[in-house]
Amino acid sequence: MHAAYFDMDGTLLKGDSNNFLTAYLLKQKVIDEKFLEPLQDFHLRYAKGELRIEDFVYYIIKPFIGMSKDERDRLIAGTLTEGGLIDNIRKGGIAEIKKQQQQGAVVMIVSSTIDCLIEPIAAALGVKYTAAAPLEYDEDGRVTGKLAGLVPYQGQKVTRIKALLDKLDLSNDHSCAYGDSINDYEMLTFASQGFLVRPSDKLLEKPECRAMPVLQWD
């Protein structure tokens, strides 16, 4: 049995899960256009690998702070369906997940996106295990505005993967990883075999990554 690690945004998903979320929240009048203004700068810093991920997470969860769990779940479900997120999962990624599962792999989705968004996406893809931005929830399931642990971003992806491997009593031997950006570099090189999915130019600057197979999933 081996492990297979999949990044979400730009790898399994065409685009950014947070963009799908904010577009749906805007449509539902939960946020306004002004809320979107800082996001471009966040995304530019992310692409360069220069983002302080906690700053972004604290910003993106603001609309959910104090919101009931039922209302949050409704908005997340709407993002996946009416908002079109699931329709934009790459077919090649879906096929690769199924192939890995058929080969006995324990599949994990590893993403810095908030856990209350990643977990329903993973469930829709038939994936049981995730490592995502861990939000703190109160006794009624409301987002408090705080983090409950380490956000899997850059080297912290490996830290979270190791914790999950320990929990599941699994080894990293014969593992594989799939990523697209410089923020996946540590995960890709930690795995026994890395695969680049429509890789960014910045990721391809890394000599180790230039030797990895490139996948052009649709």
The CA distance from 103 to 83, in Å, is 33
pLDDT tens for the chain, 218 residues: list them: 899 999 999 999 999 999 999 999 999 999 999 999 999 999 899 888 899 999 999 999 999 999 999 999 999 999 999 999 999 999 999 999 999 999 999 999 999 999 999 999 999 999 999 999 999 999 999 999 999 999 999 999 999 999 999 999 999 999 999 999 999 999 999 999 999 999 999 999 999 999 999 999 98
Query: First and final CA of the chain: distance in angstroms?
Result: 28
CB of 184 within 8 A of CB of 9?
Answer: no
Looking at residue 112, which CATH number applies to its domain?
A: 3.40.50.1000
Per-residue exposure over 168-183, b if at least 16 CB sit within 10 Å of its own CB, e if not: eebebeebbbbbbbbb
Domain count along the chain: 1
- Tell me the C-alpha to C-alpha distance, in Å, between residue 184 and each of 34, 84, 147, 206, 209: 30, 25, 21, 11, 10
SS3 29: coil
Residue 158 sits in which domain range? 3-215
Q: Judging by DSSP bridges, how do beta strands 106-114 and 129-133 pair with one another?
A: parallel
